[in-house]
Structure 1
Amino acid sequence: MPGLQRRQLFTLRDLPAPQRESLCRLIRWVVGLAPRADGDDYSVGRGDERYYRIQVYHRNDSGNRDIAQLEWRVPESSAPPELETLVSYGRVE
């Protein structure tokens, strides 16, 4: 389908410090400004607006099982350039 991007997965502990800091800064932006995906802000009547879906998983110490999953949706029209780069090229700057 046109417009769909493949999923980008990152493990924070595996990233070099500068990339980890950039990704954390982007996540903080998402948490601060984008509504949670389980809220009422994604109702009918928004037309053809596309969203970036951000999911954060927390794993236990053994890394085998997801402890928690949080999800946010960021409207494409208000996404920062860093998010677009992350989704399009799989890197943070």
Structure 2
Amino acid sequence: MANNASARKRIRQTEKRTERNRMRRSRVRTFLRKVELAIAGGDKEQAAAAFQSAQPEMQTAVTKGVLHRNTVARKMSRLSARIKALNTASA
């Protein structure tokens, strides 16, 4: 247990930061789930729109240190390729 004021303050700060990061991560997952559902539905326009709204959320998570930049780059690349594949499959 914390024995001085500065240690107690660090515990409070860590709890706040953890909660904020949990909310950010959850928000990113929600946006990704919307993209996944649109891809599964086979609707390219809806998938592209969901992907467009998910990108800023993912980049914000990188900026805030919640996710690593390479992780987000990989996820965006794979999602983009899957959306692109929807176009060729339906055409």
Same fold (TM over 0.5): no
Q: RCO higher in 1 or 2 (8 Å CA, sep ≥ 6)?
A: 1
TM-score by length of 1: 0.30
Q: Identify, as 1 or 2, the structure richer in strand.
A: 1
TM-score normalized by structure 2?
Answer: 0.31
The structure having more radius of gyration, on CA atoms, is: 2
